[in-house]
Amino acid sequence: MADARWLDEREAHVWRSYHRLLRDFGGAVDRQLERDAGLSGADYALLVPLSEAPDELLRMRDLGTQVDWDRSRLSHHVSRMEKRGLVSREDCPDDARGSMVRLTAAGRGAIQAAAPQHVETVRRYFFDPLSAGDLEVLGRVFDRMLARLDEDAEGDPCTR
């Protein structure tokens, strides 16, 4: 398919590297969390916003928005974490149909145990290979990509 807009060799290389990076970097982070704290990447993804929320408490709906999971996936995963004692569910005081999720002491302990080595892993594979100049380029490039995504999302009725 010889289209002028098709990816050239260098772009195709960067594109393949980007996908390998998503996969291998995600794998390395997940293995570290599992090994050092018995947490999955999904557990960690939910524990972070809860640990940063006022009173370590969030509406299910807001937690879902923060991690961008659909309601069914979120509800199943919160149930599994509740059985392991990492979070607890509570009724929402001003919305009979709503429900809230709270970090438990065990959940707080788990994320505190995992965090330092998680940051080490992120450093080792993501930040240490960057020079100061690379970091600046990456910051600028990501901001520009996000600005365009935001721009288009505003005009698209299918995005939230």
In the complex, what is the shortest distance from the CB of residue 4 to its own copies, in angstroms, rounded to a whole number? 11
At closest approach, how far in Å is the CB of 96 from its own copies?
31
The site for its own copies (CB under 8 A) is made up of 1, 3, 5-7, 10-11, 13-15, 17-18, 20-25, 27-28, 31, 68, 115-116, 119-120, 122-130, 133-135, 137-146, 148-150, 152-153, 156, 158-159
Q: Give CA–CA dist 13/142, Å, rounded.
A: 19
Which parts of 7-122 are beta strand (E)?
57-59, 87-91, 99-103
The minimum distance between CB 153 and its own copies, in angstroms, equals 7
Q: Which is nearer to its own copies, 93 or 129 (CB)?
A: 129
Closest CA to 101 of 82, 115, 83: 82
Q: How far is CA 100 from the centre of its chain?
A: 20
Which C-beta is closer to its own copies: that of 26 or that of 98? Answer: 26
Pair 63, 49: CB distance under 8 Å: yes
